[in-house]
A and B are shown apart, each in its own frame.
Chain A
Amino acid sequence: MTIQRDDVLNWVREYAQVIEDNHEMLTELDREIGDADHGANMRRGFKAVLEKLPTVEDKDIGTILKTVGMTLLSKVGGAGGPLYSTIFMKAGMTIGAKMEMELSDWAQALEAGIAGVATLGKAQLNDKTMLDALYPALDALKQAIADGVPTGDALKRSAEAAHQGMLATVPLMARKGRASYLGERSIGHQDPGATSTTLLLESVARIWADC
């Protein structure tokens, strides 16, 4: 089975709902080590995405993802704006004008998005950022594809790896973003960006489970 355009639309809608349900938790995490706006920013961004989505729901996957990216860029406000925008835009550019895609297309798209985030944020693994969830998720996904694991299970492994990466940010000291101002005081807190990206990949695994 392949991942259809409508699966992509359903995933974006699902993630918007996940953000709606979790925005207070994300803001609370951000209050501990940042500026207490991540949840509110993401919520504003994905509300705008939901409003925009009907204008592109008959388009290809690349167009849909790029539109999500552009909308986030002007609406989110915090660092999450340019970073999430980069993930969606680079992914959309990588997939291009397809109405359906293979899991390997998704892996390539994710890889391009993550590379964009690393370049823009000038961050590395263990800097206590969203990359700490994204890199393990990508590695797990590629490994699962190489092992011939079915799509649903492969995405589940990827989401689990993201979750582990997210938990592993707790003992880290932040080296990038607002949390880096806190230095050692950032230790002991879970990174909000790694948390929201884990939610992103978990919603992928849920919505595309039967692809």
Chain B
Amino acid sequence: MVNILLVSHSYKLATGTAELLHQMATSEALKVRVAAGIGDDHEEIGTNAVEIMEALMELTMDGEVLVLMDLGSALLSTEMALQMLDEETAARVRMCPAPFVEGAIAAGVQANMGSSLQEVYDEAMGALDAKRKQILGEEETPVEEAASVQEKEAITSDGVELRITVTNASGLHARPAATFVQTIKKHDAKLSVTNLTQGGEEVAIKGMISVMMLAARQGDELILKATGNDRQAMLEELEQLFLDNFGE
């Protein structure tokens, strides 16, 4: 299991980020700790290398650790903490340069699925892309037309496809995206998705960020393409999620 350490100057920022993370990554096996603030009650702004070291010792007991830091001395204090750990322990820890909040949530969702440290790291590193795409948009123009879509709906030799409309009000934002990937992970199958309405390319779904990259909003039509042994069961479960508006 990959555990997560949030290092911040502000105890409120770290605990608030942990709270956001737990909203989407609810597994009890996932440990998220904060090392933030300074002073007896953590109320002053600053980071404490000793506290970081202690947190790392605890989190490495039963797994590896991805560390997300806000800025400045959070990085220096974490490096200092790593220097004080024995090499074997330090080797189970990876510092991640992803943006603090986005990276933490992406990492948390990925870690929650039992992914490797590398996968969790990669997912966090892609976290900014989804936000960038949502705000800046893309140059691409819609390429799919209804006719060609119909052709794609058939069962192909290597997979099953499902065409579905996003109906929940806020689209595939972070929380539905997390539910979406957690459902995929339960099955022995792979999924790629094309957002027909936004005219994007087919996206292989590896984690929450790749779902968010679809920038799927209410009313968008998606093509879900599944391969693998469990593809039918997975698509049925995903379809149900859409029909239930992801529980919103």
Contact = CB atoms under 8 A, between A and B. Distances in A.
A164 interface: no
Contact of B72 (A70, A85, A178): A178
Contact of B80 (A35, A73, A77): A73
A73 to B, nearest CB: 5
Contacts of A77: 9, 38-39, 44-48, 73
Contacts of B39: 44, 77
A121 B80 CA distance: 10
Contacts of B51: 74
B46 A41 contact: yes
B50 A79 contact: no
A37 interface: yes
A81 B47 contact: yes
B154 interface: no
A62 interface: no
Given A85-B80, A120-B80, A73 B50 contact: yes
A90 to B, nearest CB: 11
B97 to A, nearest CB: 14
A73 B77 CA distance: 8
Contacts of B80: 73, 82, 85-86, 120
Nearest to B79: A120
A110 B14 CA distance: 36
29 contacts: A35-B45, A35-B72, A37-B45, A37-B46, A41-B46, A44-B39, A73-B48, A73-B50, A73-B77, A74-B49, A74-B50, A74-B51, A77-B9, A77-B46, A77-B73, A78-B47, A78-B73, A79-B72, A81-B46, A81-B49, A81-B73, A81-B77, A82-B73, A82-B79, A83-B76, A85-B49, A85-B80, A86-B80, A178-B71
The 10 closest A-B pairs by CB, nearest first: A77-B46, A77-B38, A74-B50, A79-B73, A82-B80, A82-B76, A73-B49, A78-B73, A74-B48, A82-B77
Interface of A: 35, 37, 41, 44, 70, 73-83, 85-86, 120-121, 177-178
Given A77-B39, A81-B73, A120-B80, 12 more contacts: A37-B46, A75-B38, A76-B46, A77-B9, A77-B45, A77-B73, A78-B73, A79-B73, A82-B77, A82-B80, A85-B49, A177-B72
